[in-house]
Chains A and B, each alone.
Chain A
Amino acid sequence: MTHIKEQTPTLIMGAMLLVYGLIAQSGALLPVVKYLHTHKTLDLQVTMCLIVGCIALVGALVNSVRKPGHSNLDTFILQPLGGIVLILVMAMLIRWYAEPLMKIISQSLQPVLGFKIYKVLNLNYVVLGILAGVLLTNTWGIPKFAAPGVKCARFVLKMGVIMLGARYSFAELAKLGVYSVFLVGFFVLGTVFLVLWLGNLFKQPRSMTGVLSAGMGVCGVSATVAVAPVVKAKSAEMAYTIGTILSFGIVCMFIFPTIGKLAGMSPVQFGAWAGTGILNSAQVAAAALAFNAVDIETLKVAEIFNITRVLFLPIIVLVLATWFGKESGHKLSFKTVVIDKFPVFIIGFLLLFFMSSIGMFSPPSHYKGKYIDVSYNDRTQVTQEEWETLNKAMAAGEFSGLTPKQLEAVTDLIKQRQIAGNFEDRNNKKEFDHVGRARMAQLEGVLAAAKAKQIELSADVKSAIKHAVKQVHKKSKTVVTLTDFMIWFFAFGLIWLGMHITKKSITQAGGWPIVMGVIAGITKATLSFFVVLWLIKDVVLN
């Protein structure tokens, strides 16, 4: 037991994970996880804690008695074990405690502030993971026992990027309106090339310019994370890019609705402008709702444009991988750029993108594996209590403020106990599906009207309708599981990323990324404003 002292932290973490796993398994944590809305992850919490705890204990004991060597077992498993367990514990704390707590706090602050901090500042596991890493490295520093393990994290981050490919497919691009593909494509590529040109002009490192161009052009944080390993961006450069994107988005989120109203934009025009000009998905939705809270058309158009932009990510990854390979060498041939210099893990990303496009994970027309199922199904029914609540509300005349179509949708929901088409049309799938989806849209309109305080509904009635709508929104289990893996890989890798952001590295990177980001962002927002006013009339969707 010569090395027991060095292994003490790993032993303690392993023991704590085992104890936590056992407590969670006993059900003692149920009130806490229910409060945090993480009860669905309880099984995963138990499994992960028990497995990681056992591995940590066994590994630390082996390390205590074994002389460190240079075998693959030492390099890839035994020596990095302490660091891997530390980052995993941090990732678990963020995913199961910090992120849900942030949601609850921002929800309770909403009446005071008027918006949800969680959404506006994008305080999800991505940003929280980076912040946790930054905090650790700039306060206590990386513990000595964890240093070798921390070196495994970039590899895990790359695995996350590969898994990201499963969320995109060509079919989604094909079904979008021609206008949105053309318009968004022009602005995405335009912004990418503008930032690359600005980087050249201000003599910034290629890695910085590359990662900022993807962040400003495509979809903010996820594009930044995906492109960073492609252009070998340093952690501080990524931090600058994410910071620039989020702060630019916050400003846009407040300014866009005001400008849109002053310019007299139609809901469709504003949706197209917000979806093109604002980078972060949550901020796009917030701006669209701020412009028009009742008519969900603005939000729908904004989301279509936002999704189109996100779908350009695989194309941008390819463009930047080729650009970086070409720029980093001298007079390279096509073979050198595309075959030798091309990052191998991007082939994995493209492979999963291809598998998703041919429908291996879920029908290719389902965006991120999500689809609406309005067929007859016991599992899509509302509960008995919810049905009784709706019945009583109908009898009490609570739905008197609804439009005739909304009332028809609610009546049918009570009649069929679920959102579906007409029973007699069940053999005509197209008609049945069309009627079911129309009813779902009407019920969503009821919820939007209640939220905007145009009609008054009791909390139970709103909850019953919300549940009915949620029941018909399905997700492919395969895509959900692949996404879960991606989230864990990212959570792990991003904490590592934060650990490399020291005060020194931030000072070294300077303020140029912000200058370039602001120039590119304002140019894109202004140009898209005029183009949208000029080109977009009312019909955008197919």
Chain B
Amino acid sequence: MSDEEKKVTIETGEAGKGTTEIPDDANTEEVEERALSVFSSDRNEDITALIFCLITTFLVLLFTKWLV
């Protein structure tokens, strides 16, 4: 019972509609933020986006500039 008393309900994304229970000492903002993404951290998300974009840019340059 004591465990349940320490928990708070927050919005966890699920397109803004879902809720979940987390320990009341957890970083609520961080949990809400993570619930909106499949990545475990902002840094992972950013680095993956950066790598994908660099690959895309390289391929675009290859097929529209360097190989033509």
Contact = CB atoms under 8 A, between A and B. Distances in A.
Nearest to B14: A147
A141 B13 CA distance: 12
A80 B17 contact: no
B61 A360 contact: yes
A76 B37 CA distance: 10
Interface stretch (B2-10, B20-28, B44-52): B44-52
A470 B57 CA distance: 28
B54 A348 contact: yes
B24 to A, nearest CB: 21
A472 B9 CA distance: 61
Contacts, number: 98
B36 interface: yes
B57 A155 contact: no
Contacts of A180: none
A148 B36 CA distance: 9
A142 B17 contact: yes
A151 B38 contact: yes
Given A142-B14, A142-B15, A478-B60, A345 B49 contact: yes
A478 B61 contact: yes
A209 interface: no
Contact of A75 (B38, B45, B64): B38
B54 A499 contact: no
Nearest to B45: A155
Given A75-B38, A76-B38, A155 B64 contact: no
B65 A478 contact: yes
Given A80-B38, A155-B37, A344 B56 contact: no
Interface stretch (A5-13, A159-167, A169-177, A245-253): A159-167
Contacts of B49: 155-156, 158-159, 162, 345, 348
A462 to B, nearest CB: 33
A505 B49 CA distance: 27
**Count class of interface residues, chain A:** 35 or more
B60 to A, nearest CB: 5
Nearest to A133: B15
Given A155-B48, A343-B42, A478-B61, A502 B17 contact: yes
Contact of A482 (B35, B45, B46, B57): B57
A355 B54 CA distance: 11
A415 interface: no
Given A352-B57, A478-B61, A137 B42 contact: no
Interface in A346-364: 347-348, 351-352, 355, 360-361
A509 to B, nearest CB: 12
Nearest to A156: B49
A432 interface: no
B53 interface: yes
Nearest to A485: B56
A481 B54 contact: no
Contact of A151 (B36, B50, B61): B36
B48 to A, nearest CB: 7
Contacts of B57: 163, 166, 352, 355, 482
Contacts of B17: 137, 141-142, 502
26 contacts: A137-B17, A142-B15, A147-B15, A150-B15, A151-B13, A155-B49, A159-B53, A162-B49, A162-B50, A163-B53, A163-B56, A343-B46, A344-B50, A345-B45, A345-B46, A345-B50, A348-B46, A351-B54, A361-B61, A361-B65, A477-B65, A478-B61, A482-B56, A482-B60, A485-B60, A500-B13
Interface of A: 75-76, 80, 137, 141-142, 147-148, 150-152, 154-156, 158-159, 162-163, 166, 232, 235, 343-345, 347-348, 351-352, 355, 360-361, 477-478, 481-482, 485, 499-502, 504-505
Interface of B: 13-18, 33, 35-39, 42-43, 45-50, 52-54, 56-57, 60-61, 63-65, 68
| CB-based closest 8 A-B pairs | A344-B46, A142-B15, A348-B50, A345-B46, A162-B53, A158-B49, A477-B64, A478-B64
Given A141-B15, A500-B15, A502-B17, 5 more contacts: A76-B38, A158-B46, A159-B49, A344-B46, A500-B36
